Amino acid sequence: MAGNRKNNLRNVRKLMRKSTGVENFNPAIALPPADFIYDFLDEKGWNQSTLAEVTSISEKHISQLLNNKAAITDETARKLSLALGADPLFWMKLQFDFERDRAEGKSLYEEIELKRTLHERIPSLTQAIKLKMVNGAQTAENLLEEVLSLTTAKTINDLLEPELHNLRTAALRTHRQPQDRLALAIWANSARRIANDSISNLPEYQPEFLDDFYEEVPGLTLDPDTGPLRAVRLLRNLGVTVMYHPPLKGTTVDGAAFWADKSHPVIALTARKKTLDEFWFVLLHELGHIVSEGYFRDVDLVEEPQASDDPKEQAANNFAADVLIPPDKWEIIRLRAEEQKKRNRTPSGEEFLQFAESVGVHPHIVTGRLHFNNLLPKTHFRKKPYSGRINKRNVIQALFQV
């Protein structure tokens, strides 16, 4: 079988040599010049010593030619042409094509190898490219440069050591599952980049009018279909940009707050969780950072807010809770839930409906907060009318209007 393959290759090379004009000799694959020298020697019954004698080329150099360790020069091409036949340009073109293809092959190998390494070290990179967080239509070197800028790593080797990254985030650590810190950095910094590209057409931040927005929020929760969309538009009119930024694999981020510049705060939402109470909580939690802290350079990420002991995160939690349910009203239902919990009982659904009506919010805001504070089993009151799911299509449509 091996002999058949060798004969087949030899026949291919013979057909290639039959081209009398060098301009017609353009094989799809550039074979090593040594293969052709061997064919000629076989046809003539010569060995490399005979070729060395005939051409006055040293046997050492002939050996290098036959092992593709030496290139065919002009002088060598002329000697091979006289000794073995074929035009000198034939031998020169063999050498040129072989070196060109070898160089291109090395370049292609390096390109593929670098991209392979990047995708292995960042499993979510394909998704980030698909979502246009990273530009995939570029060379491997440019892709590496962009990834390094988004992760703030300095070299490709740094991508193996997340502790070296300054992610420029005030990120909360989740206690439930590990985070892919590189994916998190790409998510956060690409959101900032997208926002930076769009702020020129946006109004400046107007915090003096936010009180009017807070008063409208409870009523907006009553309409699961259009409430979130109207809230997003109201905030944008006040200079708070709200954008949709899909989550990447390996992250559990729900939202982020940052400033595109000193006049344009931004809230990025993933809409990862589909319940209405979580949508409102994340939106208002991030707004709380903007309102209470003013301008800050980092990106604050909401992952597992209840797992954080950071005073700023706790303040943002309290802000979101108080906008949705006034503290004095919340105290009533909180004490009632604690009392029932001590007795291993659960308040009736009618109690939740009546309380929600008295406060002017959707019942899911009440049950959701009780779940959040572990005052109600998370398996209880998960269906209508006590719970609700966002119309994700409407919300994402609104969030895309950055």
pLDDT of residue 398: 52
pLDDT of residue 5: 41
Q: Rounded distance, CA 256 to CA 283, Å?
A: 9
Query: Same domain for 106 and 127?
Result: no
Give the range of the structural domain holding residue 152, as residue numbers without chain letter. 120-164
pLDDT in tens, the chain (402 residues): 444 444 544 554 554 555 444 445 555 456 788 988 998 899 899 999 999 999 999 999 999 999 988 999 999 999 999 999 888 998 998 888 888 877 777 677 778 888 999 999 899 999 999 999 999 878 888 999 999 888 878 888 877 765 434 443 443 333 355 678 888 889 988 998 888 887 777 788 999 999 999 999 999 998 887 888 899 889 989 999 888 888 999 888 888 898 888 889 999 988 887 778 888 999 999 999 999 887 776 665 555 545 456 788 888 889 999 999 999 998 988 888 888 888 887 777 788 888 888 999 988 888 888 888 888 777 676 667 656 665 556 555 555 453
Query: Same domain for 95 and 137?
Result: no
3-state SS of the chain: helix, strand, coil percent to 5? Answer: 60, 5, 35
Query: Same domain for 111 and 234?
Result: no
Query: Same domain for 395 and 293?
Result: yes
pLDDT of residue 57: 94
CATH number at residue 48: 1.10.260.40
Q: Rounded distance, CA 65 to CA 61, Å?
A: 6
CA–CA–CA angle 166, 168, 173 (5° rounding):
85
Query: Same domain for 184 and 312?
Result: yes
Give the residues across from 169 on adjacent strands: 299
What does DSSP say about strands 300-302 and 241-244: parallel, antiparallel, or unpaired? unpaired
Query: Same domain for 267 and 344?
Result: yes
Among candidate residues 116, 143, 178, the one where a domain is terminated: 116
Could you tell me if 373 and 367 are in contact, meaning their C-beta atoms sit under 8 angstroms apart?
no
pLDDT of residue 51: 94
N-term to C-term CA, the chain: 65
Query: Same domain for 38 and 153?
Result: no
Q: How many domains does the chain have?
A: 3
Structure tokens at 133: 């967080």
Could you tell me if 244 and 393 are in contact, meaning their C-beta atoms sit under 8 angstroms apart?
no
222 DSSP assignment? T
Among candidate residues 78, 99, 116, the one where a domain is terminated: 116
169 DSSP assignment? B
Query: Same domain for 397 and 357?
Result: yes
Sole residue written with tokens 């909580």: 281
Query: Same domain for 95 and 139?
Result: no
pLDDT of residue 308: 58
Q: Which residues contact 375 (CB under 8 A, 6 or more apart)?
A: 334, 337, 338, 341
